[in-house]
Amino acid sequence: MRLLIVGTLEGYISAAGKIALQKGAKVAHTDSIDGAMNALRTGQGADLVMIDVKLDVGMLVDHLKNERFAVPVVACGVGTDAQAAVRAIRAGAKEYIPLPPDANLIAAVLEAVAEESHAIVSRDPAMAATLAMADQIAPSDASVLITGESGTGKELMARYLHRKSRRANAPFVSVNCAAIPENLLESELFGHEKGAFTGAVARRIGKFEEANGGTLLLDEISEMDLRLQAKLLRAIQERVIDRVGGSQPVKVDIRILATSNRDMLSEAKAGRFREDLYFRLNVVSLNLPPLRERPADIALLCRHFATKYSEANGLPPRTVGPDAMTMLQAHYWRGNVRELENTMHRAVLLSRGTEIGPEAILLTGAEPSYTAPPAAPAVAPAAARAAASYGNAGGYAPPPAYQPPPTQPAPVIPTMPGMGGADGGTRGLVGRTVADVERDLIIDTLKHTLGNRTHAANILGISIRTLRNKLKEYSEGGVAVPPPASGVDAEAMG
Ligand SMILES: Nc1ncnc2c1ncn2[C@@H]1O[C@H](COP(=O)(O)OP(=O)(O)OP(=O)(O)O)[C@@H](O)[C@H]1O
Ligand SMILES: [Mg+2]
C-alpha cells in the first residue's frame, strides 16, 4: 500500500504518516497538487492519495481523471469543519478524515482500499473449496503452500491469507525466488553485515527481518537452489536467521507462505527440492484450479475487469455482449486470470460502444480450442457448459475464429512470430538452425512481456534460470536483450 499525502494536513502530516506507516503503508509527501501529479507522472505510484481539504480537492480529482490515474482520493481537515467535508466529497473525494488523525479510522480506510484492489473475484464451485479452506486456515500461523498454473492468482491468495490473519496490520513482504540470482538471494532473504562480501558497503536487513511480526511470501520457491534451501529450513524450524557475515543469530517471528507453479512433490522426489523443507512448507496446501476449469469465474471476471478498466480509463462502464462472452468462455486461457485481465483491458480500449462485441476481443496465442489439448482434457466439457449457461444450450456451435469486419482495420497488437499461421508458422523457418530460431523466440517473448523474465520463462515453458543463462549468452554474443522490467530483474542480469 503506497500512500501519497498532499499538503500540510494542518500540521498533522507526521501524525497521519506515522499511523499509516505502522499499518504497513509506504508514505510519501508533497506540498502541492502539482507536486502530486509530477510524482505520479514520474512513476512513483500511489494506491491512495490523502489531501489537505484546504487545497483544491476537485482540481486534483479532475487532474487524476484527465490523466487517467485511477487512485482514490480522501480529504483530511480539522474535524469541526463540516462544510469543508461536504465540499470535498462533492468534489470527488471518497472519504473525509477528520484531524487530528484517528489511528483506527486511518487503518479502516487503508484496509478498505487494499481490500478493493486485492479482492478475489470468484463464484465457481471449483474454487469454493479452496476459498473455504483459505478462510479456515488464514487466522492460524501455519505455513501454506499455494500451487497453481501461472496467472491463477497465487500471489493474490497469499495477500488474502495475510489480510485475514492476525498479522494483517503487520508487514506483508514478498520475495520472488526466481527473479533473484542465487548469489544474491541469500542476502536478500537474510540480510548481510557490512563487509560480508565485496560490495557489501553497509549492513542490510533482509526480508525475513523486514517481515518480522508479519507474513513472508516466498514466491516461486521451487526455483531456490538446494544449498539455500538448507538455510531456509533452519530459519523456518528454529525461527532464527543468520545475516551473511553476521556472528549473532537474529530471532524472527514470521508466518511463511510459499507459491509454486510446479508439482512440488515430484520436484522433491526428483531431488530438486528438499523433502524435509517441502513438508515444513506444506502444512496446508491450497491449489488454485486453472481458469478453464472454472467457467463461472470466466464470465464473472470478464465483467469485473470490464468495469474495472472502464473506470481506470475514465470511460463509461462497458458491458460484455453475448457474442464476446461466448468467445471468452470458449478460449483455452493458458495464461489464466492474468491473460483474461489483459484481454479485457484491451477489449475496453478497443470497444466502440458501451457493449463489448467480438471485434474487441483479441485473443493472443492459440485460437479458441475445441479439440482438447492433451494436457487439459477438461476444456471441451467446460466450454460447452459455459456456453450452455449463456442461453445457447440448444446446439452449441463453436464460434468461428474472429475476422475483423472489412470496413474496420484490424487493431495492431503485439504478436509473436510463428503464431497462428495455417502451417503452424514453421514453413518460413526452414533453412534456419534451431539455436537461431530459439534465440528469436526468446527475445520476442521477452519483448512481449515488456522485459519481465519471470513471465517470459513461464510462457516459454523453461525455468527462469535457463532463461537467464541463455540471455547472458546472447548479450555476451552481442545480441540486444530487452532490459529487465523491474529493479530486481535488473540485478538478475548483473
Ligand atoms: N480471482 C481473481 N479475482 C480478481 N483478480 C484476479 C483473480 N485471480 C487473479 N487475479 C489477477 O490476475 C493477475 C495474476 O494474479 P497473480 O499474480 O496472483 O497470479 P500468480 O498465480 O501469482 O501468477 P504467476 O504464476 O505468473 O506468478 C493479477 O493481476 C491478479 O490481481
Ligand atoms: Mg505470482
Task: Verify that 25 and 75 share a domain, yes or no.
Answer: yes
Contact (Cβ atoms closer than 8 angstroms) between residue 165 and residue 255? yes
Confidence of residue 155 (pLDDT cuts 50, 70, 90): very high
Within a domain: residue 374?
A: no
If you take atom 10 of ligand 1, which residue's CA is the nearest one? 153
Which residues, 6+ apart, have CB-to-CB distance to 394 below 8 Å? none
- Amino acid in position 40: L
Q: Identify whether 166 is part of a domain.
A: yes
Q: How many domains does the chain have?
A: 3
Residue 262 structural domain: 143-282
- Would you state the pLDDT for residue 376? 33
Residues 192 and 62 in one domain: no
Q: What is the DSSP string of 373-434?
A: PTT-TTHHHHHHHHHHTTT--TT--PPPPP---TTSPPPP----TT-S-TTTT-GGGTTS-H
Is the domain of 298 the same as that of 215?
no
Please indicate, yes or no, if residue 138 is contained in any of the structural domains: no
On whether the CB atoms of residues 344 and 329 are closer than 8 A, the answer is no
Last residue of a domain, one of 282, 311, 332: 282
262 with 301, same domain?
no
Three-state DSSP at 73 gives: strand
Residue 308, ligand 1, Cβ within 6 A? no
**What is the per-residue pLDDT for 431?**
66
Nearest to 371 by CA among 342, 330, 411: 330
In a domain, 399, yes or no: no
Whether residue 232 is found in the same domain as residue 147: yes
C-alpha cell at 170: 503487520
User: Are residues 274 and 299 located together in one domain of the fold?
Assistant: no
Q: What is the mean pLDDT of the chain?
A: 81
Please tell me if the CB atom of residue 223 comes closer than 6 angstroms to any atom of ligand 1: no
CATH number at residue 336: 1.10.8.60
Q: Is 292 exposed, middle or buried (0-12, 13-18, 19+ CB in 10 A)?
A: buried
- Our answer on whether the CB atom of 150 is closer than 6 Å to any ligand 1 atom is yes
pLDDT at 95: 85
pLDDT at 251: 95
Tell whether the model's pLDDT for residue 493 goes beyond 50.
no
Q: Where does a domain end: 282, 310, 326? A: 282
Do 436 and 325 share a domain, yes or no?
yes
pLDDT band at 403 (very low <50, low <70, confident <90, very high): very low
Pocket test of ligand 1: the residue of 147, 155, 218 to mutate, having most ligand atoms within 8 Å of its CB, is: 155
Count of beta carbons in the 10 Å neighbourhood of residue 490: 13
Distance (Å, rounded) from C-alpha 91 to C-alpha 93?
6
> What residues pack around ion ligand 2 (CB closer than 5 A)?
154-155
Greater confidence (158 vs 315) lies with 158
The CATH code of the domain that includes 167 is 3.40.50.300
Residue 402 has pLDDT above 50, yes or no: no
317 upstream amide cis, omega within 30 of 0 = no
Given 282, 315, 346, the domain boundary residue is 282
Q: What is the pTM of this model?
A: 0.63
Q: Given a cut of 90, is residue 99 above it in pLDDT?
A: no
Phi, psi of 215 (to 5 degrees): -120, 135
pLDDT over 70, % of the chain: 83
Residue 336, ligand 1, Cβ within 6 A: no
* Length reported for the chain: 494
Q: Is the four-CA dihedral 65, 67, 70, 75 of positive or negative sign?
A: negative
Q: Is residue 491 part of a domain?
A: no
Q: SS3 string of 295-331?
A: HHHHHHHHHHHHHHHHHHCCCCCCEECHHHHHHHHHC
CATH number of the CATH domain containing 60: 3.40.50.2300
Q: Grid cell 545480441 — which residue?
A: 479
Say how far apart CA 358 and CA 355 lie, in whole Å: 10
420 pLDDT tier (thresholds 50, 70, 90): very low
Decide: 122 in ligand 1 pocket, CB within 6 A: yes
Query: What gap in Å lies between CA 487 and CA 375, rounded to an integer?
Result: 35
User: Residues 42, 187: one domain?
Assistant: no
224 and 79 housed in the same domain: no
Span from the CA of 228 to the centroid of ligand 1 (angstroms)? 27
Query: Distances from the Cα of 122 to the Cαs of 129, 181, 268, 322, in angstroms?
Result: 11, 35, 32, 20
pLDDT of residue 167 exceeding 70, the answer is yes
The band of 202, judged by pLDDT with boundaries at 50, 70 and 90, is confident
Q: Output phi, psi for 137, to 5 deg.
A: -95, -10
Residue 136 lies in a domain: no
**Pocket-testing residue among 131, 149, 156, ligand 1, by greatest number of atoms within 8 A of Cβ:** 156
Same domain, 442 and 304: yes
In a domain, residue 415? The reply is yes
Output phi, psi for 55, to 5 deg: -85, 170
- The per-residue b/e assignment along 140-153, b for 16 or more CB within 10 angstroms, e otherwise, is eeebbbbbbbbbbb
Give the number of the atom of ligand 1 that is nearest the alpha carbon of residue 151: 23
Same domain assignment for residues 320 and 427: yes
- Looking at the structure, do residues 278 and 306 belong to the same domain, yes or no? no
Give the residue from 95, 15, 90 showing the smallest Cα distance to 49. Answer: 95
Ligand nearest the Cα atom of residue 174: 2
Neighbouring C-alpha atoms within 13 Å toward the C-beta of 259: 24
Is any ligand 1 atom within 6 A of the Cβ of residue 130?
no
Residue 389 domain-assigned? no
Ligand 1 neighbourhood includes 151 CB (under 6 angstroms): yes
pLDDT of residue 130: 94
